[in-house]
Amino acid sequence: MSNDFGIETVLKRLGIEETNKGTSTGSEWMDTGADYITSFSPVDGKPIGKVQVTHRQAYEAVIGKAEEAFKVWRKMPAPARGEVVRQIGNALRDRKEDLGKLVSYEMGKSYQEGLGEVQEMIDICDFAVGLSRQLYGLTMHSERPGHRMYEQWHPLGIVGIISAFNFPVAVWSWNTMLAWVCGDVCVWKPSEKAPISALACQYIAAEVFKSNGLPEGISSLVNGDYKVGEYLSKDGRVPLVSATGSTRMGKKVGEAVGARLGRSLLELGGNNAIIITENADLDIAIRGALFGAVGTAGQRCTSTRRLIVHKSVFGVVKERLASAYGKLVIGNPLDEKNHVGPLIDKDAVEMYLKAIDKVKQEGGKEIVEGGVLSGSGYASGCYVKPCIFEAENHFEIVQHETFAPILYLIPYEDLDEAIAYHNGVPQGLSSAIMTTNMREAEQFLSAAGSDCGIANVNIGTSGAEIGGAFGGEKETGGGRESGSDSWKAYMRRQTNTINYSTQLPLAQGIKFDI
């Protein structure tokens, strides 16, 4: 599939016009003035479309609509809300190919990964539909006769969602589908680097809400830079802000939300490592490391940044990885023969080049050379070569997340040392160990093992399934999205005690007689 795949036709089928407004409460779109964000494709550098920036007055109108919609939406039975989400899932199925192409073209990930991102949205819709009948509380035995106790969960209200460019639609769905079945309404600020994919999702969702006779404001969209994100973070009418992005961004969101005693759900940076032991199946290990390091051009929060390899197999791993890197085909991600697409923009390319210079200055040994590609097919200037360096875990650059396909190889002697290296970074998102030794695997999964929110055995660090809670520890933020009991983040807990007796005994046996 070439660049000339018909983006205009794709946009039209997704309901997007050539010039777009960027602020919506559902099917209603506001004209917010002359300030625009233009989305350029990193595939070929061409503009895809533009969206209007949400100014303060428009934001206030969005919040007003959301507040009114919440009063209606929260009263619907949860299974009825689930039925609406089921219909959204079906609408995504109908548009999977087109939305996958748009995601690939706007963000730069491979078409297969674009399709996979839309499938992840469909999967979370299915998960949320089932969840809508399972928002369980607990019952407790009261110490007082003739009393019973239980807890229940209620919706919070408006959920603000700030998403990143690397998963321009999936992370929104992780939050919204769960929040919607929980009875919340959502206001989404997508990345200013991928706003057109967000428009497509808003059109799809709005169509379903409108066909069900539901009010404006259940699904709202605002666009802009960090200033629009600050509207959400500092707004006491938004009890929960879910933010995905860098640790630097997350600290600012967390500080702003915390200052008003609101709730924040933070999914931030990762500096993920795979430990390859002397007992590893190297065929699996090399494949897992390869996709983890170069998939999405290293622009996943779960991308593999560090490979901690036992000295007895270090040479073999280094040689096999170098050979595999030599077979990578870099180019237009819509062409399924290519393995690696571009970085998101030239700023990302600059960070990639600075990281390479830094690791060389610190003494890293180049195993597979990096660099920027030029010439036919690379006109956007965003295509780079995945590279590998032999490095030390304490290097300053190794301690930081670089959102690019740079892999650091670190040798170790025993598993305790490997785990210490693994945990010896500020981030704590995803991790993996490659071993056929049960004791090694169990040690890695124990309390004395990986300190990450995700720990895998014999699979890589990227490619999480929606059924598990997704998130990490330390500077990754501590939030959890998607599966398991992540739904509880979008609700408030209420403890209830009912007295069905004719007496009024006090707890703890306190006497207060008059």
Decide: 50 and 39 in contact? Cβ < 8 Å. Answer: yes
Contacts of 285 by beta carbon, 8 Å cutoff, 6+ apart:
274, 276, 317, 434
What are φ and ψ of residue 410, in 5° steps? -130, 120
Strands (E), 18-131: 19-20, 23-24, 29-30, 36-40, 47-52
**Distance (Å, whole) CA 14 – CA 12:** 5
**Distance (Å, whole) CA 172 – CA 263:** 17
Q: Which residues are catalytic?
A: 267, 301
Token pair for 423? 């945990």
The H-or-E segment that residue 493 falls in is: strand 491-499
- Name residue 158's amino acid: I
Q: At what angle do helices 96-107 and 78-94 cross, to 10 degrees?
A: 70
- Chain centroid to Cα 329, Å, comes to 26
Token pair for 416? 């305790």
- Chain centroid to Cα 109, Å, comes to 15
Three-state secondary-structure class, residue 208: helix
Select from 268, 273, 271 the least CA-distant residue to 432.
Answer: 273
Token pair for 107? 């963000």
Q: Tokens 């875990």, residue?
A: 393
**Distance (Å, whole) CA 446 – CA 423:** 13
Q: At what angle do helices 96-107 and 195-211 cross, to 10 degrees?
A: 150
Token pair for 424? 């010896």
Three-state secondary-structure class, residue 490: helix
406: which strand partners?
A: 387
* Burial category of 392 from C-beta neighbours within 10 Å (exposed 0-12, middle 13-18, buried 19 and up): middle
